Amino acid sequence: MNAMAKTILTKNDIEKVNEAFQGMSAPDRIKWLHAEFGARLVLSSSFGLQAAIMLHLVSEHAPEIPVVWLDTGYLFPETYQYAEELIKKLGVTVKVYQPKVSAARQEALYGKLWEQGEEGNTRYGLINKVEPMNRALQELGTDIWMSGLRRSQSSTRVDRQFAEQQKQTLKVYPILDWSDSQVAAYFYDHNLIKHPLAADGYATMGDWHSTKPLEKDTTAEQSRFGGSKYECGLHLESGTQDFQI
């Protein structure tokens, strides 16, 4: 365990990031975070529709930062292929974390959790996303967690601050204030490859059983979990479990 990860997070840490990020560009935010927190930093990536942006920013401005990829075992085949292509192209250091219980074993023991309402979906998120991410933070000795969340992605994210505490971890969002047009421009300006399913009407990307293309008069939020919710639990305080540092 990295000794630096034992540092106790305080309200001042949150305020420090929120103040520093005001008026900064995303590249400057990445560089500032790396200079400020060093080995305490980790980036999580889903290798979804917009994942290339944070991966490119890190590869360009702080390539020492490790990337955690949570492989649930239920990703689209195209996502696995896209991830391999991006990793080779950008040269990022990726640490793959998977659930302790395989997909086949989960279904044998619990059935298809994603078809079992709110309780089943919550249990699914804990097994496949929350526990592996908590384990990654522990094993890598990191407690500053970067993510590519943006306010415009869903109603659950509109009030987010650039930094917030989630249990014993400081969550930071360097592109939180980016608009969809900024995302499109960054892809174009840096010639980033797009997820193969972006051309098939998907507005968001998750596991194959809980994500569908946009239909007429629907929103991105309605294309996840049958429209019942957008978040899987990974980025919600109520959906996390404590872990020991």
> Roughly how many angstroms between the first and final C-alpha of the chain, as a whole number?
8
| CA angle centred on 115, ends 110 and 121, rounded to 5° | 75
The answer to whether the CB of 223 falls within 8 A of the CB of 212 is yes
What single DSSP character describes residue 73?
S
Structure-block tokens of residue 58:
């890190």
Query: Nearest 5 degrees, angle CA 183-CA 188-CA 190?
Result: 95
Catalytic residue ranges: 232
CA–CA distance, 24 with 36 (Å, rounded to integer): 15
User: In the structure encoding, which two tokens stand for residue 88, read together?
Assistant: 């080779």
- Identify the bridge partners of residue 144 per DSSP, sorted by sequence position: 41, 170
Residue 182: name the closest of 25, 42, 34 by CA: 25
